[in-house]
């Protein structure tokens, strides 16, 4: 039986060229797998046909938008996943989903190898390969761009020589990755970190400086899951898409960051994630209302570690699974609604309500109806500060004061 390679196929120059090149270099049949995570752009039927025209023996397109939203984006919302406290791991979330479908295709078609188009500088090579090894340790991996110094110039020459049906003349100055959770832009003039971003970079968001009327939205959650927008039931995917449109129209979700890549270098990235940033902001506010203080304090550390693991490509790791279990239990009472004003590049919380709220008006108020017994405070302060008081007394004695 002829060897088979399953290729993560985007439809672009590098992976289109990789189909013929992999067949030529390995003698294997190539199966192209394209996973639709809401990246937009070309029609996926066109992508499927292009893979066949470039020499693939099979071309598989998976509509995974709902799966991506429910099994990858939703956990990120519940974990308030913001890498370096800034951005919602746009690309990292899609990689384990793509890996899962690559491995499934390899098992189904009897392939011994999977392939991807990542370079040796980025995080994605790690995400693809660590994920593959976690799910199918016996599969081999080939990365033509990294392993064989496959430059764009070589790819263009190969495409022209073999008459591949792809546009090899148009070259964007940027590297762009996008899905329903957001959009990432890098390279080009952005590599000089003093250069400011320009409007041409953006696609998911409008200029927040342009005057426009504010938009008010009410997001409903049930157990940490967004279930309604302005009282209308929505799926997770619909919630993201709706807020991408509405928050994006207000310029919300633009992020300009110098991030720490897993491989040890820093890179400058421009992100757009209007729906993601709005949902996370609303979810965090509802947690403030419904999660007990000590659990909330501990969860903030869990959230940070969860985001780091997802960013680092350790989606299928034991620690990630255990943190998932913790996050799941923490969401038991995260039910209610958050009202937000979307305007001028900001999603501002203006109201929150929940049947599971820990906010007690009668305890919090300073007006008539105050039920808090203030006489308890003096003794509480004495006991709470006792260890610090004793330690400081000891230090003064030792110092001879």
Q: Tell whether 18 is in a known binding site.
A: no
The H or E element that residue 211 is part of is none
Q: What residues are annotated to the active site?
A: 14, 95, 124, 175
- 8 Å CB contact between 138 and 31: no
Do the annotations mark residue 184 as ligand-binding? no
9 among the known binding-site residues?
yes
Nearest to 9 by CA among 117, 101, 127: 117
Pick from 130, 81, 75: nearest CA to 313: 130
99 CB neighbour count, 10 Å cutoff: 27
CA distances from 276 to 45, 131, 242, 341 (A): 28, 24, 11, 15
175 known member of a binding site: yes
Helices (H), 110-215: 124-135, 144-147, 152-162
Residue 271 is assigned to a ligand binding site: yes
Q: Is 14 annotated as a binding residue?
A: yes
The annotation status of 12 as a binding-site residue, yes or no, is yes
The reply, when asked if residue 10 is annotated as ligand binding, is yes
End-to-end Cα separation, the chain, in angstroms: 87
As a whole number of angstroms, the longest Cα–Cα distance in the chain is 88
Q: How far is CA 143 from CA 28, 197, 316, 382, in A?
A: 15, 31, 21, 64
Residues 62, 38: contact at Cβ < 8 Å? no
Residues with Cβ < 8 Å from 81, sequence gap 6 or more?
75, 88, 89, 280, 303, 306, 307, 310
**Residue 72, marked binder:** no
183 is in an annotated binding site: no
What is the sign, positive or negative, of the torsion defined by CA atoms of 274, 280, 281, 282? Answer: positive
| Exposed / middle / buried, residue 26 (Cβ in 10 Å: 0-12, 13-18, 19+) | middle
Please give the annotated binding residues for ATP, written as ranges: 8-16, 117
Please give the annotated binding residues for L-citrulline, written as ranges: 87, 123, 127, 175, 259, 271
Please give the annotated binding residues, written as ranges: 8-16, 87, 117, 119, 123-124, 127, 175, 259, 271
Please give the annotated binding residues for L-aspartate, written as ranges: 119, 123-124
């Amino acid at each position: 039986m002829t060897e088979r390679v399953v290729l993560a196929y985007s439809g672009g120059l590098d992976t289109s060229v990789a189909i013929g090149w992999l067949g030529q270099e390995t003698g294997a049949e190539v199966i192209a797998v394209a996973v639709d995570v809401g990246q937009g752009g070309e029609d996926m039927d066109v992508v499927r046909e292009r893979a066949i025209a470039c020499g693939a023996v099979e071309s598989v397109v998976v509509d995974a938008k709902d799966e991506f939203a429910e099994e990858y984006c939703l956990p990120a919302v519940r974990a308030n996943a913001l890498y370096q406290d800034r951005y919602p791991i746009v690309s990292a979330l899609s990689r384990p989903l793509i890996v899962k479908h690559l491995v499934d295709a390899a098992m189904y078609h009897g392939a011994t190898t999977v392939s991807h188009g990542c370079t040796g500088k980025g995080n994605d090579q790690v995400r693809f390969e660590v994920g593959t090894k976690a799910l199918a340790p016996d599969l081999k991996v080939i990365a033509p761009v990294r392993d064989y110094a496959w430059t764009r110039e070589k790819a263009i020459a190969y495409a022209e020589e073999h008459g591949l049906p792809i546009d090899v003349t148009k070259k964007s100055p940027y590297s762009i990755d996008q899905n329903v959770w957001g959009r990432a832009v890098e390279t080009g003039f952005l590599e000089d970190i003093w250069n400011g971003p320009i409007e041409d970079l953006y696609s998911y968001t409008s200029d927040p400086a342009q005057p426009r009327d504010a938009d008010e939205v009410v997001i409903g959650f049930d157990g940490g899951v967004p279930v309604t927008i302005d009282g209308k039931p929505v799926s997770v995917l619909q919630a993201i898409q709706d807020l991408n449109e509405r928050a994006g129209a207000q310029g919300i979700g633009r992020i300009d960051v110098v991030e720490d890549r897993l491989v040890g270098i820093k890179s400058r990235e421009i992100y757009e994630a209007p729906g993601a940033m709005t949902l996370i902001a609303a979810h965090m506010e509802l947690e403030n209302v419904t999660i007990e203080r000590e659990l909330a304090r501990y969860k903030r550390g869990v959230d940070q570690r969860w985001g780091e693991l997802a960013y680092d490509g350790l989606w299928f790791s034991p620690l990630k699974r255990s943190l998932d279990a913790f996050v799941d239990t923490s969401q038991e009472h995260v039910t209610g609604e958050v009202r937000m004003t979307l305007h001028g590049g900001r999603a501002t919380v203006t109201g929150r309500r929940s049947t599971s709220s820990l906010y007690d008006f009668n305890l919090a108020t300073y007006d008539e109806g105050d039920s808090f017994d203030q006489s308890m405070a003096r003794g509480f302060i004495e006991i709470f500060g006792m260890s610090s008081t004793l330690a400081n007394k000891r230090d003064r004695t030792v110092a001879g004061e």
